Structure 1
Amino acid sequence: MSSQHAIKGNFLHPCVIDGKDTLVHANDLQHRDPAFYQQLQHYAAQNHYTLVADRRSQDKLDQSGRRKAWLPVMVLSLGLNTAVAASDRNDTHSSAVHYSQSQSVLALLHPSADGEHTTDRLHDHQGESLLESGGQHEHFEFEIPASPEAEQLEDILQQHYTASAQDPDHIQYDLTQMARYLSQYPEAVELIQALAEYPWRLSYAENTFETEVRGTPFQVQAVNIRFDSRAAAQLRSHKACKTQANACIASPADALLHELLHAKAALLETKQFIAQGGMNSILYPYEHERAVIQHENSIYQAMSDRDGVMRPQRFAHAGRLVASSCSFCIN
């Protein structure tokens, strides 16, 4: 392993040069810290990155008059050290390697997205705020009929669901109803089927819709989705919400699709997800979130075209949760 003194000067800048995924490193790295440079070469070869020595002056500034940000190598230690350990299992030092991970939590609603704040509570909406209701929901008796496609979706959701002793009594019933509801829409079916064989977990969390992605700045290793099957999401706020609540509020099942889009991007479109800042553990990945919202709008529109029910079309990442009486209800 590199000495602590040498590591302090080891910085990487991930970028794309001439269409190739590239890691730009300090121009004296090969001579100053050959051990780390060898690790970096091995990591780049395994993950198809091109290595380029930095040719900029140390004091060169960007257009904003600031020195361009570099990524500390210690953040990458998991990917680098894992690659080296895997290639040489007889290395007596490999068991002493300590890894540091990156973590990104992507929420359905983000209060500071693009400078926006959460919308004010609408007094004319029938659903009460989850924060005020304490999560108490009235059970809704209507059931959607079963179908072979619904059973397939339920199997997928159940295979990825992690139960807890704290789960509410209605969660299994809600998973069944969500699967039956979503099975009516080819876009939702395709999304869930695409994720069937990938490693992600689904769990209940009161008053929550979020996706946690773990890994390194160059790798996705785990995806955990937390959701509330009795929390609808008010995504828009305008006068029409009084008479057309469907245009402003997404049911819990529809809101779950947003989180599944995060999972699909992280697991199936990993390079694009990372390029959009998906694994940035410091800054919220707004570019990725905008792409997910665009995809969400497209799916909601296709669903509305199919059943004639309006759904939210949003352009900002703001909103609030409201209580829902069932997993596919908006109030």
Structure 2
Amino acid sequence: MVLRPLIGSNTRFCLVRVLKDGVAFDPALTKILGDMDPWLLPLKPPEDHDCHRKIVNDSYYKDAVEYMRLTMQSPRYVSLAALHPLVQLLLIGGLVDEAMKVVEEMCNKVHDIKPFRIKAAMMEKFHHHNDLLAKCYEDILKIDPSCVTTLKKLIVIRESLIEMIALHVEASFPEPIIWKEFAEILILFFENADEDRMSVCLDGSGEEGSQQTYSVRYNSTPRMFTETSSWTLRAKWWLNRHFSPEILEAEMRNGTGYLEMMRLMSYKAACACRIYGPEFSYVTKVYGSRLVKYSNSLELFNFLQRHRHNWNRIYNLE
């Protein structure tokens, strides 16, 4: 028996029974594998270490792993077909790192949805706090833009990222690059959020002989901004902290450099388009008085213009 880190934790440890050939029986890993999506791993690994030892030490299992490893050196169409069964064999044997490495190599080799789906499913279980998980979802959507399930998972991550940036905005006066990323993440979130924001209401008394009519209402604001009061309070506070006339005047007098000042104001105005709408005073003053006036700010002008043309006013607070 040896002491090893518990899967998915940097601080907790568990007792692991080491079998022959260095293969470890880890109860925590067995539980994680048992909870994996059936399409990826339909067989639930045995929870008994003796049964697990018989499987991984069986000559048929060893031969299968060896031959599948060799198959990965075959042409792409052959190695792609062998990827899934090899990953299953490696996971059952507790060889998670090797399984992930094989999948990564296949993702770099082919432009096919299968290895990216396998990679995402594994990262959800073993590296679910990894920043690369969002990138993995994006890679899937680039290959298959119609995948609703992956899009929903990406939206959940985006919501968390928006909240973290908002906390930073509350605690500091962010640099221009932070405001830019905030604006971009907001526009992506609004464009890709596929929440069911449409409701159908039945009008009329419902009495016999009366004609019933239906009305359809569509709410363009994602629920995260309306379900709690925290975002409403946040938006009200930011009016004075980041977007007041006094703040704008001070930014225009800022001596950190003309271009840096223009970046700060234009990126903040892009965020304000999303939160308060394109007619918000901070937005109109930056867009009209500064960006249009100076021709060498064309890139910033186009950036803000894109956000003004694709705006979503969350709050009407002016």
Q: Do Structure 1 and Structure 2 share a fold, with TM-score over 0.5?
A: no
- Structure with more of its chain in strand, by fraction: 1
TM-score normalised by length of structure 2? 0.22
State TM-score, norm by structure 1: 0.21
Structure 1 or 2, whichever has the larger Rg, is 2
